[in-house]
Amino acid sequence: MHVGVLTGGGDCPGLNAVIRAVTKSLINDCGARVTGIERGFLGLIERRVVALDRRAVSGILHQGGTILGAHNKADPFAWFGAGGADVSGAVMDYVRELGLDALVAIGGDGTMSIAHRFQQLGLPVVGVPKTIDNDLMHTERTFGFDSAVAVVAEALARLETTARSHGRVMIVETMGRYAGWIALEGGLAGGADVILLPEIPYDLEAVATLCRKREAAQGFTLICVAEGARPVGGAMTVAAHMADSPDPIRLGGVGNVLREQLQPHLQGEVRSTLLGHVQRGGTPTPYDRVLATRFGCHAAAMVARGEFGRMVVLRGDGCDSVPLAEVAGRTRTVPLGHPLLKAARSLGISLGETRA
Amino acid sequence: MHVGVLTGGGDCPGLNAVIRAVTKSLINDCGARVTGIERGFLGLIERRVVALDRRAVSGILHQGGTILGAHNKADPFAWFGAGGADVSGAVMDYVRELGLDALVAIGGDGTMSIAHRFQQLGLPVVGVPKTIDNDLMHTERTFGFDSAVAVVAEALARLETTARSHGRVMIVETMGRYAGWIALEGGLAGGADVILLPEIPYDLEAVATLCRKREAAQGFTLICVAEGARPVGGAMTVAAHMADSPDPIRLGGVGNVLREQLQPHLQGEVRSTLLGHVQRGGTPTPYDRVLATRFGCHAAAMVARGEFGRMVVLRGDGCDSVPLAEVAGRTRTVPLGHPLLKAARSLGISLGETRA
Amino acid sequence: MHVGVLTGGGDCPGLNAVIRAVTKSLINDCGARVTGIERGFLGLIERRVVALDRRAVSGILHQGGTILGAHNKADPFAWFGAGGADVSGAVMDYVRELGLDALVAIGGDGTMSIAHRFQQLGLPVVGVPKTIDNDLMHTERTFGFDSAVAVVAEALARLETTARSHGRVMIVETMGRYAGWIALEGGLAGGADVILLPEIPYDLEAVATLCRKREAAQGFTLICVAEGARPVGGAMTVAAHMADSPDPIRLGGVGNVLREQLQPHLQGEVRSTLLGHVQRGGTPTPYDRVLATRFGCHAAAMVARGEFGRMVVLRGDGCDSVPLAEVAGRTRTVPLGHPLLKAARSLGISLGETRA
Amino acid sequence: MHVGVLTGGGDCPGLNAVIRAVTKSLINDCGARVTGIERGFLGLIERRVVALDRRAVSGILHQGGTILGAHNKADPFAWFGAGGADVSGAVMDYVRELGLDALVAIGGDGTMSIAHRFQQLGLPVVGVPKTIDNDLMHTERTFGFDSAVAVVAEALARLETTARSHGRVMIVETMGRYAGWIALEGGLAGGADVILLPEIPYDLEAVATLCRKREAAQGFTLICVAEGARPVGGAMTVAAHMADSPDPIRLGGVGNVLREQLQPHLQGEVRSTLLGHVQRGGTPTPYDRVLATRFGCHAAAMVARGEFGRMVVLRGDGCDSVPLAEVAGRTRTVPLGHPLLKAARSLGISLGETRA
């Protein structure tokens, strides 16, 4: 049996752990031949592959990134390199030339959609979910998320010492454009006093009031805000701030907007930090190494069983799978009744909600 | 409402996060008065308590240990301080004097057994499980475990660089007298080539053969062994090594025994490291901070609902509870069919099993 | 003997280690009474002090921030609280009321200037230098610097994995408005390919050329830039970018300017990260804990010897002191002939210099 | 020019950083050809070499261990592989065959001695010191030491939380058979209450008294002891404990001896941890990456200048060199008047000295 492996989309701690687990498992359990496809689907378009054996995946468990490389925008069904043309036919020809019996596609939403279409074209595919945002349907947790949460918690811990001793409001802006999982768990783990999510529009007055109260009492406030968080009704407010800059990173995002909104209400200084890509790279946490390894081993087992057209998921304490058709294009946001939100409120953490 | 909180048994990263969550939740949600009992049940015997308010639990989320202190052997039903006498009556008198309406007992197996007996004496109790070994029935994961696994994985990563460049066999002995969870997940996260658990007696010859093979091929081997691991049939073998030393720590435990067993079979040096108590202390990982916080908030909610005589557990992605009667004295070892064992074998990791 | 201790200026890992060392040494060696002054010189203006004994400084060695608090702008000689009035007389009255025989002032350039003036008013002062920028005259290294460098190196390591696997140019903007020490050592420790300092105006074309070369060869580039770095001749260039935003943090600083300057020259994406205040807070590295402890013990010894009007410095492997008069208002920038610059060039790292 | 590079002796964080710096500097500054010799001098005996170019040393800055491998006992002047014969002639033949113009030898005392003898045989040699013990003459600091100190400090910090909350005496045994630098700086950085060094025989009664005092007052004690520490007059005492075990690691070393000596004097439990090889491996700290890089660049510059027969050293804030003849066989122990010892005493830390 000859199996191809590729990694698509943005970076995520644990990709190499999956590649290692898939490769070793296929070799040990099926005596399969494994071929790595370089830079995601781009490798199938540009015909760039590399052989994967035990030695090739030795010692990469702890490494961030992906030894295969990845590419964000390479869609064979709309290849901008060919002016948006559909080059999937040429890709299938190459797949046949390589003699691939199956493909393990490790990636996010976009990768799964493309993988699903190749499955329909007759290429047996197993998907492995990849999202640090932990916002994929049908799976409780994805590798990379724990690592991102750890980076956020560490940053909050560092900023807290300064906030405490210098009487400041410290804002940390995390990833999470549509789902607030990273800000929520990162904020809880880092001891944030305010956590703002895309799922709950924040009441600026409520946040400002809490910061004033804390300035008088504890003397400082830690705010953890997801990049997708928005004020009540007022996407406009942000839009206004965005006006002079179409690029949120250039502006510094909602964290800096919030800083400008809060400063006038407070005596102490308000400072904002945008964590950005440090949340996406680097060595995965031990938890993510184990989870990524499990996903990889399960994907290999699915290939061995001929369980194709499906994606690995985590259910309870075990791995399972769901049809690729069911995952594409759907995001798992934080349900308003989620126990972590309840826990946050019990701890006295403000979610930016208007006080009744 | 007046609620007491105590921490019993050995140290475990996350205890302070639970104390903080229980206290803040009870104050914010029930307007309860919270009293900390010092050094576990010893505080109820020696009448040593401290008031807990928001300020008292502020900034302890990241701290290892427990601000209340703990005690390993203080059992009011057999108090060695009183020559094994039952002082539970005096304890109940003190509880009535304090006017405690309920007790939140955070601890392991022993603490839950004692808590259960006080529940039967009429003191409403909610239990919060504490075990870095992750070997408690009915709950998939307990706080402290992820932190212990991280310490093991970090140690293996440090030793691997030396093993690789100096052609050595490096052995890491982890905690786990009866259950091998720490060695299993720590070994997987740390890239161990051999993982030995109490649940699977190891075949010395099989381990030695693999080390010889790897010495010829990769040049080094990483072994992760739980303190409770034993050779096939041969508790004797260890006993023999133990003979001149009744104290396993003094001998250095099974790791050093294994070192002496393997060295004669190999050319390169075999070195063993006993991690010991560094696995039990220190700052909890962000994952454990979140889990401990959730356990604490759920325990407070149980008190508010009058859901007594039960212990918090993690089921799937949510918290639940089970009767204290069902947990006492039962250990959750690694099932021989567990997916992590299957994954380990697929990766080519030896579990010390005899090759058929 | 009665000694006051205060911490002034911005946050810096190691402040608590100094407070602990000063307090314990004065108590153990001189049987002195030690009083902590809250929030820097503000505490002498607002008459807020706290007694310091062994218990008060126990367990703070690892803590970031300062248990005494600090204040950036409290200058008794120009107290904005009093409309820029000189309240130094009232401060001296308070000092006499407290019965302080000496003051240990821990802080940066501004704090040393104020301390120097109080020395001239008759208050015996010993200064302890505090700057994460490591830009103080007469001392080779200051505590906090190693911790800041570690944060930069860790961020670069995380970003490198993404840069490698996704073929990107990753920019990290560090602290260092006038001196480039943090960017220089952080960049060297983090494996940066380009390091831009305030001391060496960068030639955009040279940087772009190197990025293009590396894009073709290695596929990625890591850039470490100090916030004070500026293009050759072209403060204007930046000014232009600054035009729509008087606030450099809002704009994201030179890192984002550089990103916009480089992107047009490259195919791969260019991303910028602004580390900001995470460099200033958090647990000090072991190196900084030892250095801060040594500074504190040496300051106490100077008090005991009556060696006043001077500031602790590190010379070779030992502590020494220099007159406060000699430090004020002078910054130690990176000398153009410094061995670290030579080392960087030998490694093939670009300093943004124009190729001859 | 053709230059050979080898790493000898035990593992030490930073070796790869030196290899990378030497290689890149020689290529960039001298257009030299660089050849790596595998497993120290063993590679010259067994004729195993590998070409080193920019790609070969790319991305190894953070890696622990050495990509060239190392060997502890390979001495060409007394090659046990040849029954203790002198094979240096054959080695020189091989050196001439390779056409090596110079050799950069990275290693400890033993490696420097051998390097010195080859220099005398006509092979131009530059030495780079390697010792985590920081016990080399003529150089204030060596790479690897800061990393070892960080591991010790981290272990002490983890154990302190347990010691505090469980009222224990926690002992950490560090490396340092003849010099106590690691125990001294690690103990200071980790907040140890007792630090025992090979240079100062400890008075058991003095240590026990302090532990008893602290048990009554603070409730716990942290002890950091170097493996080479010995009780006053009583190497015998240890010898007695050693009697039943010639192998110190098997016994667990002085830490466990001390545990058995102290336990009878105390109520709380005494626990001992032997850190062992985790101090020698793993990613170097940023400080060590910079120092190792500087050593490597300076060694390359010495080769370029023809400055042979000498070893790189750190003096003040700059690199310098000393004749190989002057370093061999001499150990830099902690001088009894060293400021760090004075600092420790001022902090109230016991060095095991008898109270007058």
Q: 3-class SS at B196? A: strand
With a pLDDT cut of 70, the percent of chain D lying above it is 94
Largest CA distance in chain C: 71
Per-residue pLDDT tens digits for D23-39: 999 999 999 999 999 99
Q: 3-class SS at C84? A: coil
CA atoms within 13 A on the CB side of B117: 17
To the nearest 10°, report the CA torsion of D280, D285, D288, D290.
150
Measured at the CA of D44, the angle between CA D41 and CA D50, to 5 degrees, comes to 105
Asked if B96 and B44 count as a contact pair (C-beta separation under 8 A), the reply is no
Distance CA A124, CA C320 (A): 72
Both tokens of D315, joined, read: 């003096």
C-D C-beta contacts closer than 8 Å: 139
Query: For residue B243, is pLDDT > 50?
Result: no
- The pLDDT score that the predictor gives to residue C323 is 95
Going from the first residue of chain C to its last (356 residues), give the mean pLDDT of each consecutive group of 10, the final group possibly shorter.
Answer: 96 97 97 97 97 95 95 88 90 97 95 95 97 88 96 96 94 96 98 98 96 94 97 60 44 84 94 92 96 98 97 89 87 93 97 85
Measured at the CA of A256, the angle between CA A253 and CA A257, to 5 degrees, comes to 85
Query: For residue D126, is pLDDT > 90?
Result: yes
Mean pLDDT (whole number) for A286-301: 98
Which helix (H) or strand (E) is B88 found in, with range? helix B88-98
Question: Does C263 count as an annotated binding residue?
Answer: no
Question: Does C108 count as an annotated binding residue?
Answer: yes
Q: How many CB atoms lie within 10 A of CB B51?
A: 9
Mean pLDDT (whole number) for D295-302: 98
Cross-chain CB nearest to B185 (options A21, A58, A290): A290
The CATH homologous superfamily of the domain defined by D148-279: Phosphofructokinase domain (3.40.50.460)
DSSP A199-263: TS-B-HHHHHHHHHHHHHTTS-EEEEEETT--BSSTHHHHHHHHHT-S-HHHHTHHHHHHHHHHG
Distance CA B67, CA A127 (A): 46
Asked if D146 and D157 count as a contact pair (C-beta separation under 8 A), the reply is no
Asked if D60 and D19 count as a contact pair (C-beta separation under 8 A), the reply is yes
Cross-chain CB nearest to B252 (options D154, D167, D252): D252
The distance from CA D166 to its chain's CA centroid, rounded to whole angstroms, is: 33
User: Among all chains, which residue has been given the structure tokens 């780079």?
Assistant: D128
Give me the sheet containing C102-107, strands edge to edge. Answer: C49-52, C33-37, C2-7, C102-107, C125-129, C310-315, C318-323
0.90 surpassed by complex ipTM:
yes
Q: How near does any CA of chain D get to the CA of B127, in Å?
A: 20
Residue C294 dihedral angles phi and psi, to the nearest 5°: -65, -45
Distance CA C158, CA A277 (A): 8
Both tokens of B224, joined, read: 């992760």
Per-residue pLDDT tens digits for D212-252: 999 999 899 999 999 999 999 765 444 444 444 444 434 55
- Residue A178 CA: distances (Å) to CA of A330, B15, B203: 11, 33, 52
To the nearest 10°, report the CA torsion of C81, C86, C89, C92.
60
Mean pLDDT (whole number) for B3-32: 97
* Disruptive mutation site among C287, C303, C312 for chain D (greatest number of D CBs within 10 Å): C287
B140·A301 Cβ contact <8 A: no
Both tokens of C4, joined, read: 């006051």
Q: Does the CB of B337 have a partner CB in chain A at under 8 Å?
A: no
Largest CA distance in chain A: 71
Question: Does D177 count as an annotated binding residue?
Answer: yes
Give me the sheet containing D102-107, strands edge to edge. Answer: D49-52, D33-37, D2-7, D102-107, D125-129, D310-315, D318-323
For chain C, give every domain's residue range. 2-143+284-326, 148-279
Say whether B133 is catalytic.
yes
Question: B244 pLDDT band (50/70/90 cuts)?
Answer: very low
Entry pTM? 0.94
Does the CA dihedral B196-B201-B204-B208 come out positive or negative? negative
Identify the closest residue of chain B to D40 by CA–CA distance. Answer: B166
Nearest CA-CA partner of D12 in D201, D219, D125, D151 = D151
Q: 3-class SS at B145? A: helix
Within chain C, residue ranges assigned H as helices are 15-30, 41-45, 88-98, 109-120, 145-166, 181-190, 204-216, 235-243, 248-251, 253-262, 286-305, 324-327, 339-346
Per-residue pLDDT tens digits for A26-45: 999 999 999 999 999 999 99
Identify the closest residue of chain C to D152 by CA–CA distance. Answer: C286
10 Å CB burial of residue A306 (0-12, 13-18, 19+) is: exposed
Chain B segment 238-257 residues within 8 A of A by beta carbon are none
Residue C12 zone, left/alpha/beta (φ > 0; ψ -120 to 50; rest): beta
8-state DSSP, A331:
B
Q: How far apart are the first and last CA of chain C?
A: 63
Both tokens of C225, joined, read: 């830039």
10 Å CB burial of residue B311 (0-12, 13-18, 19+) is: buried
- Residue D86 CA: distances (Å) to CA of B311, C76, D77, D121: 71, 76, 4, 13
Per-residue pLDDT tens digits for B80-116: 888 889 999 999 999 999 999 999 999 998 999 999 9
Question: B255 pLDDT band (50/70/90 cuts)?
Answer: very high
Both tokens of D250, joined, read: 């098997």
Q: What is the CA radius of gyration of chain D?
A: 22
- The pLDDT score that the predictor gives to residue A235 is 55
Facing residues of D315 across strands? D318
8-state DSSP, D81:
G
Asked if B69 and D166 count as a contact pair (C-beta separation under 8 A), the reply is yes
Distance CA A231, CA A238 (A): 8
Question: What kind of fold does domain C2-143+284-326 have according to CATH?
Answer: Rossmann fold (3.40.50)
- C44: Cβ–Cβ under 8 A, 6 or more apart, which residues? C6, C37, C76, C91, C94, C95
Nearest CA-CA partner of C189 in C151, C141, C220, C144 = C151
Distance CA D34, CA D49 (A): 10
Cross-chain CB nearest to A24 (options B28, B301, B348): B348
Question: Does D70 count as an annotated binding residue?
Answer: no
- The pLDDT score that the predictor gives to residue C235 is 55
Q: How near does any CA of chain B get to the CA of D288, in Å?
A: 15
8-state DSSP, D325:
H
Nearest CA-CA partner of A282 in A52, A8, A15, A5 = A15
| Catalytic residue numbers of D, as ranges | 133
Asked if C286 and D189 count as a contact pair (C-beta separation under 8 A), the reply is yes
Mean pLDDT (whole number) for B41-48: 97
Distance CA B134, CA B174 (A): 13
Nearest CA-CA partner of C222 in C276, C157, C177, C146 = C157
Could you check whether A2-143+284-326 and A148-279 share the same CATH topology?
Answer: yes
What mean pLDDT, rounded, does chain A reach? 92
Q: 3-class SS at A157? A: helix
D189·C286 Cβ contact <8 A: yes
Which helix (H) or strand (E) is C272 found in, with range? strand C270-274
Mean pLDDT (whole number) for D26-53: 97
Question: Does D280 count as an annotated binding residue?
Answer: yes
Per-residue pLDDT tens digits for A170-215: 999 999 999 999 999 999 999 999 999 999 999 999 999 999 999 9
Lowest mean pLDDT among A275-279, D3-7, D313-317: D313-317
Which helix (H) or strand (E) is B26 found in, with range? helix B15-30
Asked if D136 and D111 count as a contact pair (C-beta separation under 8 A), the reply is no
Long-range Cβ contacts of C209-214 (<8 Å, 24+ apart): C209/C355, C210/C350, C211/C169, C211/C262, C211/C265, C211/C266, C212/C265, C212/C266
Nearest CA-CA partner of D69 in B223, B163, B213 = B163
Distance CA A292, CA A12 (A): 11
DSSP A43-55: HHHTT-EEEE-TG
Considering only CB atoms, which chain B residues are within 8 Å of D244?
244-245
CA atoms within 13 A on the CB side of A201: 8
- A228: Cβ–Cβ under 8 A, 6 or more apart, which residues? A176, A177, A178, A179, A180, A197, A198, A254
Measured at the CA of C351, the angle between CA C350 and CA C352, to 5 degrees, comes to 90
